[in-house]
Amino acid sequence: MSHDALLVLSVVVALGALVVIGIFSELRRRRFRPAHSADRIFRCPKCNLVYTDDADVERSRCAQCGKLNEAIEF
21-52 pLDDT per residue, tens: 999 999 988 887 777 778 899 999 999 999 98
Domain match, 26 and 48 both: no
Domain match, 28 and 45 both: no
Measured between its terminal Cα atoms, the distance across the chain in Å is 63
What is the number of domains present in the chain?
A: 2
Domain match, 49 and 28 both: no
d(CA 49, CA 14): 55
Domain match, 3 and 28 both: yes
Domain match, 29 and 44 both: no
Domain match, 10 and 28 both: yes
Q: Work out the average pLDDT over 4-12.
A: 94
Query: Residue 56 above 90 pLDDT?
Result: no
Q: What is the pTM of this model?
A: 0.51
Domain match, 29 and 45 both: no
Residue 44 neighbours by CB distance under 10 Å: 19
Domain that residue 61 falls in: 40-70
